[in-house]
Amino acid sequence: MASTRLRIKSNTLPIRVESGDLIVPEEIGSKIENMYLTMEGTLRSVWGPLPYVPEYSTGGPLYATLYGIFHAVVGEDLSREILLVQEADTLKVFEGWNAGPGGGGTVWRNLIAPVGASDIKAEFGADDRPRFPTQFESTPTGVVIIPSGDNARPYFYDGRTILPLGYTSAPGAPVGHGPTTKGDREYDHRGAIGIPGGVAGSKAGFARIGSVSLDSIVTSDLGRLSAGAWYGAYQWIDIWGNLSPLSGRSAAVATPSSPSLLEIEDKRYLLFWEGIEPGPDGTVGRVFCRTKDTLNSGTVEMFRVPAGIVGRSPLNATAPDVTVQLGFTSIPDNITTTFPDNIPDDTLILQPKEVVAVSPFKLYTLAFGRGWAANFADEPGKIHPTMPGRWGTFLENEEIYPDPRGAAITGMLQVPDGLLAFTNTSTFLVSVSYGGEGFQSKTIHPRIGCVAPSSISMMPSGAAIWLGKEGFYAYKEGAIQLISQAIHKEVAEFNTARTIQATAAFDVREQKYRCWVPTNGSRKNNVCWEYDGEGWARRTDVMASAVCVTQDHRSYMLAVGEAQKSGQSFNDGVWLLDHQVQSWEPQARASIIQTSWMRVLRSEGRGSPMTVYLWLREAGSGTLTVEVERDWRAGIVQTTTATLHPTDDIPPFWDVAKWGELDSSGDPLTWKSRRPYWTRVDIHAPSAEVFRLKLTNTVSWEFLGLAFDEVPKTDTLRSAPK
C-alpha cells in the first residue's frame, strides 16, 4: 500500500450541475438527479410531492388524465384566487378546502363539461395525442383559457362567469321602418297628430330625422322635407366589453319628399327598427348603428347611435331640450328586439369598431396592453392583437403573419423589447411599428424556433427560455443562445414526436427553470430538466403534463400529471412540489449524484484513487451508497457506504432522542440546525485510467462536496500500451 506521503489530493469538488460530455471539469457531475438546490447552496434530496387536495380519512379525489393547470389572482382588489385544471374533457375550478364532502359541494367544480352539471356544455376532444397542454393567460379582468383538445375554442373566466371568448358570429341585420312603410298614424310621430286610441290632442313628441330644404320664397320656418334613405346595423357587447362583428346592413328605409311646405319642427320623421336579435349568453347590450341620410348627407358610413340623446318633453313643445342618458350603449339590454329611433343625423359622430369574429385559436398571450392570439384553426401562421383591454375583440386588418411562409405559430412571449413569436423553425419579434401606428415583425432567427409553447418561461435575469428542436434556447437583448450544450446527449433522447407537450415554469424558491419533457420514447413528460442560469440537473418525482406557480403569497409550484404513492401504482393528480405530508408517502426514489469521469486529463498515466472524502450534512441514522466505476465502463466495481451523520459527534435523531437527554458532549440537547461534516470511504480502483463515483440514497441526504486522493501509477506497464 502506498504511503500517504505519495498521495495526491484533489480539490474539493462542489458538484451542483451535470454534463453529458466526456471531458468536463471535475466540479461538474455526469448525473444530478432528484437533488434540490437549497437556499444555503447545498444539494438535498428532493422530497414530496403531496396531493393538493389531501387524502384525509375520506380519501382524496380521483382524477382522469389532466392536461392543464393554472393559478391566477383577479378582481379589482386582487381578491379572487382562481385555480383551474383541465381534466379529460372538463374544465374545473377549485372551490376550496371545505367544499368537498360535508361542505355541500365539490372541491373541483365543473365549469365546462360535455355532460352533467357545468356552466357550459362543450366537448374539447381531449385525448393523448401529442398537443399543446391547456393554454391559459391571465388578464386584469379574468383568465383566457384554451383547452387542450381536437376542437377546443377559447373561453374567458373572471372568477364568477365563464363564457366563450368574444363573438364567433355577427348578428343578423335589423329591419327598419319609416313613416311610409309602417303607416302614417303609427310611426309618423309628428307632434300634432294624436296617438291612435290615446287622448285627443296628446303629442307623441318631436321627430328629428329628415333632411330639410328651405323654400327660398318663404320667409317663415316653412320648408320641404327631402327624400331620404337610412340604413341600420348593430353589434353585440358582452359583460367584459367585447364587441361582435357588425351585423349586415338593413334594407334602406326610404322616405319620399314632402309634397308641400311644412312646419319643419313638427313634420320630421321618426324611424323604427325591429329584428334586433338578442346576443348569446353574456351579452349585456347592443350598439345600434345607423347611417346619416344617405341621399343628402354625402356619406354612407355607419355611425354609432349615442347612448345619451338630446330630446324634448313630449308634452311640452316649448320646454328646453333635456339630455336623456340611456346607459352604456344605445340599447343597454339583451331583451328588446326593437328600437324607436329619433336620433338626429347631426349627433351621429363616432363610427363603430370593425370587429372580426373570433375563430378558434390555440395560443394567447398579453403584450402592449393587448391580447395576442395565434395559431388560428383556419390560419395557423396568423397572430392577431385584440383591442387594448378588450381581451376578445379583434379588429379588422390588424393581423400579422410573422413568417412569410405562413408556418404555424408555436409560441409567444412578451419580452422587454416586444413580443417574441415562434414557429417550429424560426423566431420573430413583434414591436410597435416605426410609424407609431400598428405593429411590425422582424426576424430574430430564421432557423431557430420553438417546439412547445408551454416550455417558454422567463428567468429573473430577463432571459426568455424555451425548448427548440435542438435543445433549450435563451433570448436576451436581441440574441438567441443555445444553453443546453452540456446535456446534448440527453436532449437527443427527448421523444421529439411529443416535445410539443413539454411544460415549464420558473420556481421562485429554488430559482430554477424547470421543464418537463418526454424522454426515451415516453408518452408522458417523464423527466424534468432544471436550469439555474449556469447548469442543468434533472428530477423524476412527478410526470407533469402541466405546471404553474401560484400567483399569491405562497408561490407554490403545482403540477398535474402522474406521481406514485408508496406501494401503489402511478396515479393522476394535482401535486404540490417540494412539500410533503405524512398522509401521502411517495414511492421511494433514488436521489443521485454521479461524478463525471475523474482524472480524465491525466488518464494517459494510471492512478489508484484510494480515499474519497465526502462533505455532507447531517441527515439521519442511515447510510449513503457509494458506487465506483472505472476505465470508462459503466460496470460497478465496488459498492461501499458512508454514514449520513458524523460518527464522532452523533446528532440527536427524531423518534430516538428524548427531551432532557445529554448530547455526546454532555450538554443538554437543544434545537439546532443540522451541521455539515466530513466523512471518508476507502475505495478500490487500482491503477485506473479514470474512475467515477455514484452517490445514491432513497432517504433524505444533503451534499456539499467531495474530494479524493490518489496514488499516481504512471510507471506501470499498463500505462498507454504500444
Partner 1 sequence: MSWKYPRAPIKANAVTDVEDINNALKPATEETFGQLNEHNWASSTQAVANGGAAIPITAIAEDAAFVYHSAGVYSAYSDLHTAPLNVADQEIQLWSGWVPLDNITLDFTCPQTLLWIHGSCQVDQALGGLFVSSMVRLAIRVDGQILTDSITGGAENDNDEVSGPLWLYHPLSTSFLLPVVSGTHKVELVFKTSGVGIAPSTTPVVVRSRELICLEMRR
Q: How far is the CB of 676 from partner 1 (least distance, A)?
A: 12
Output 205 or 652, the one with its CB closest to partner 1.
652
The residues facing 567 across adjacent strands are none
Choose between 108 and 439: whose C-beta lies nearer to partner 1. Answer: 108
**Any idea which residue has 372538463 for its cell?**
90
Q: Would you give the binding string for partner 1 spanning residues 579-618, x where CB under 8 A is met? A: xxxx-----------------------------------x
| Positions in 489-528 near partner 1 (CB under 8 A) | none
Task: Report the nearest approach of partner 1 to the CB of residue 526 (Å).
Answer: 24
Among 260, 647, 665, 673, binds partner 1 (CB under 8 A): 673
Q: Is residue 654 at the binding interface for partner 1, with CB under 8 A as the rule?
A: yes
Please give the Cα distance from 412 to 52 (Å, whole number): 29
Report which of 330, 243, 343 is spatially closest to residue 287, judged by C-alpha positions: 330
Of the pair 604, 655, the CB lying nearest partner 1 is at 655
Pick 38 or 351: Cβ nearer partner 1: 38
Q: How far is CA 644 from CA 64, 651, 677, in A?
A: 40, 11, 9
Name which position in 672, 682, 684, 720 contacts partner 1 (CB under 8 A).
672
Which residues from 688-717 bind partner 1, rule CB under 8 A? 699-700
CA distance 278 to 88: 33
Rounded Cα distance, 467 and 449, in Å: 8
- Residue 184 is classified by DSSP as H
* CA 265 to chain CA mean position, Å: 59
Q: Which of 20, 52, 87, 455 binds partner 1 (CB under 8 A)?
A: 52
Q: Which is nearer to partner 1, 483 or 548 (CB)?
A: 548
In the complex, minimum distance from the CB of residue 15 to partner 1, in angstroms, rounded to a whole number: 21
Spatial contact of 659 and 668, defined as CB atoms under 8 Å apart: no
Which helix (H) or strand (E) covers residue 185, if one does? helix 184-187
Residue 77 Cβ vs partner 1, minimum distance, rounded to whole Å: 16
Interaction residues for partner 1, span 143-202 (CB under 8 A): none
Q: Are 314 and 254 in contact (CB under 8 A)?
A: no
In the complex, least distance from residue 554 CB atom to partner 1, rounded to whole angstroms: 6
- Rounded to whole angstroms, the Cα distance separating 502 from 496 reads 10
The count of residues in the chain is: 722
In 3D, which of 578, 467, 581 has the Cα closest to residue 516? 467
Neighbours of 35 (CB within 10 A): 27
- Residue 12 CB, shortest distance to partner 1, in Å, is 22
Report, in Å, the least distance between residue 620 CB and partner 1. 4
659: contact with partner 1 by CB under 8 A: yes
Whichever of 304 and 514 has its CB closer to partner 1, that residue is: 514
Among 205, 360, 622, 712, binds partner 1 (CB under 8 A): 622
State in angstroms the smallest separation of the CB of 622 from partner 1: 7
User: How far, in whole angstroms, is CA 612 from its chain's centroid?
Assistant: 47
Among 22, 636, 657, 720, binds partner 1 (CB under 8 A): 657
**Binding residue for partner 1, selected from 652, 676, 686, 712, defined by CB under 8 A:** 652
What is the size of the binding site for partner 1 (CB under 8 A)?
38
Alpha helices in 93-234 (DSSP H): 179-182, 184-187
SS3 label, residue 658: coil
**Closer of 407 and 581 to partner 1 (Cβ):** 581
**Which residues does residue 677 pair with via DSSP β-bridges, in sequence order?**
616
Whole-angstrom Cα distance, residue 393 to residue 354? 10
Residue window 60-99: x/- pattern of binding to partner 1, with contact defined by CB under 8 A: ---------------------x---------------x--
CB atoms within 10 A of CB 268: 24
Q: Which residue has the cell 413528460?
A: 525
What residues form DSSP beta bridges with 635?
none
Residue among 618 and 689 whose Cβ is closer to partner 1: 618
Residue 533 beta carbon to partner 1: minimum distance, rounded to whole angstroms: 23
Element at 264 (helix H, strand E): helix 264-267
Query: Would you give the DSSP letter of residue 182?
Result: H
Least CB distance from residue 682 to partner 1, whole Å?
Answer: 25
- Cα-Cα-Cα-Cα torsion 242, 244, 245, 249, nearest 10 degrees, comes to -130
- Measured from the CB atom, the residue of 435 and 660 that comes closer to partner 1 is 660
Question: 45, 580 in Cβ contact below 8 A?
Answer: no
Residue from 620, 642, 689, 697 that binds partner 1 (CB under 8 A)?
620
**Minimum CB distance to partner 1, residue 556 (Å):** 8
Q: Which of residues 1-30 bind partner 1 (CB under 8 A)?
A: none
Q: How far is the CB of 651 from partner 1 (least distance, A)?
A: 5
C-beta closer to partner 1: residue 491 or 619: 619
Q: Which stretch binds partner 1 (CB under 8 A): 213-221, 226-234, 255-263, 619-627?
A: 619-627
Q: Smallest distance, Å, CB 458 to partner 1?
A: 24
Q: Residue 55 interacts with partner 1 (CB under 8 A)?
A: no
Of the candidate residues 62, 656, 662, 717, the single one contacting partner 1 (CB under 8 A)? 656
Instruction: Tell me how far apart the alpha carbons of residues 392 and 401 are, in angstroms, rounded to a whole number.
Output: 19
Identify the residue among 414, 621, 638, 719 touching partner 1 (CB under 8 A).
Answer: 621
Distance CA 104, CA 305 (A): 48
Stretch that binds partner 1, among 388-396, 564-572, 593-601, 651-659 (CB under 8 A): 651-659
If 0-12 CB within 10 Å is exposed, 13-18 middle and 19+ buried, where does residue 287 land? buried
Task: Kindly give the pairing relationship between strand 212-214 and strand 283-291.
Answer: unpaired
Secondary structure E strands in 457-502? 457-458, 464-467, 472-476, 479-482
CB of 581 to partner 1, least distance (A): 6
Residue from 89, 85, 70, 84 nearest 128 by CA = 89
Q: Cα–Cα distances in Å, from 506 out to 48, 285, 382, 521, 604?
A: 18, 42, 28, 26, 43
C-alpha cell belonging to residue 556: 407554490
Taking CB under 8 A as the criterion, which residues in 547-586 touch partner 1?
552-554, 576, 578-582
How many Å apart are CA 227 and CA 213, to the nearest integer?
A: 10
Q: Which is nearer to partner 1, 472 or 701 (CB)?
A: 701
Least distance to partner 1 from the beta carbon of 604, Å? Answer: 44
Say if CB 148 and CB 132 are below 8 A apart. yes
CB of 56 vs partner 1, minimal distance in Å: 13
- Using CB under 8 A as the binding rule, the residues of this chain from 626 to 645 that contact partner 1 are 645
Among 14, 21, 47, 532, binds partner 1 (CB under 8 A): 47
Q: Which residues of this protein are in contact with partner 1, per CB under 8 A?
A: 44, 47, 50, 52, 81, 97, 552-554, 576, 578-582, 618-622, 645, 651-660, 669, 671-674, 699-700
